[in-house]
Amino acid sequence: MRAILYVGCSIEGMINMMKSKLTIVKKYAVLMMTVIVCLCMQPFAMTVQASQPKVMVVDCKIVQKEIIAGQTFDLAVTIKNTGSRYIDNLKISVTSDTGDIVPAEGAGNGFLEELPNGEESTFTFRLRAADGLAEKSYKLSVVNEYDDIWGNPYSATDVIYLPVKLEQRASITDLYVDDDAVLGDSVEVIGSVNNMGAGMLYNVRVRVESNYLEENDTFIGNIDTGKSGSIDILTNASATTSETGELSNVVVTYEDKEGNETELTGKFKVTVNSPVYDNVEKIKDTTTKINKNIIIAVCIAVILIVALIAGTIRRNKRKKRILEEF
């Protein structure tokens, strides 16, 4: 009986030992499977992270070439999908935190259903620069919101700076020149250059362009908003015009802050007469008169001398005859 009990206990112990070993083996197996799965998933995770879609602004262009305060303009923004996968439901927005540049039409948004990897797309926005802005660059944010192929949302913001200029506008007034001039005489051209815009007129210069007057110029300098500069150019009449006069030009040149030049032209009429022929006739008339007077004077002198001589001879003869009679 004892032998049977001993054998039974030994079998039960062996079974318990085997169960314990199996539990340990299971634990090791689960641990190994976990390690294998983690090692297998790591490249996949790296691949997913590497393929995250990225959208960025690659170009922007002002269609009108410049932005004037208080006026509208068109801004073309080009974005590119620099990732390795498609993106879906792209929404692009342009915003200004300070309200210096605002949408002139719509809400300043654009939408694209999908954008393949490596592809570009251009959106054009009609915007307006606020009145009263200073002449400098202003910040504009471009926000791109989109989804990847699994529907995960992403957002990317780029910042661009837009240079705003003030309107330059000038006029020429009070332009005056004597109507008539004589060839070789000095001719004075006077007038005013007026700054009618919101921006400064830089390096204002004025010149005379004419086929009948010698070209000359003058430098005025900078003219502030609402101010005027004086035109005063002295030139010479170099050629004759028709009897009714001919048009000549006053050309005003001014620059903006970047040195870009603008020209403004004013016209005036002047008649240049030739003095040469009139003076020759006067000289001829004067010379003829002088010659005539000289001839007359000589003739009178000769007559007087002849008469004097004849008178003297007659007196001498009479005196001699009287003396002979006595």
Domain extent listing, the chain = 55-165, 170-276
Say which residues have a Cβ less than 8 Å from residue 201's Cβ, sequence separation at least 6.
Answer: 168, 170, 193, 195, 222, 223, 254, 255
Alpha helix locations (H) across the chain? 2-50, 276-325
Q: Indicate the CATH number for domain 55-165.
A: 2.60.40.10
Burial of 175 (0-12, 13-18, 19+ CB in 10 A): middle
Closest CA to 253 of 282, 221, 224: 221
Digitized pLDDT (tens) for each residue of the chain, 326 residues in all:
444 434 444 555 555 555 555 555 555 555 566 555 445 544 444 444 445 778 999 999 999 889 999 999 999 999 999 988 889 999 999 999 899 999 998 888 999 999 999 999 999 999 999 998 999 999 999 999 999 988 899 999 999 999 999 999 999 999 999 988 999 999 999 999 999 999 999 999 999 999 999 999 999 999 999 999 999 999 999 999 887 778 999 999 999 988 999 999 999 999 999 886 555 555 556 566 666 778 888 888 888 787 778 777 776 666 666 556 55
- Joined tokens for residue 314: 């007659």
Domain 55-165 shares a fold with domain 170-276: yes
Q: How many CB atoms lie within 10 A of CB 215?
A: 13
The helix (H) or strand (E) run that includes residue 237 is none
Task: Give the CATH number of domain 170-276; options: 3.30.160.270, 2.60.40.10, 1.10.20.10, 1.10.287.3610.
Answer: 2.60.40.10
Burial class (CB in 10 A: 0-12, 13-18, 19+), 99: exposed
CA dist 278 and 242 (Å) reads 16
User: At 21, is the secondary structure helix, strand, or coil?
Assistant: helix
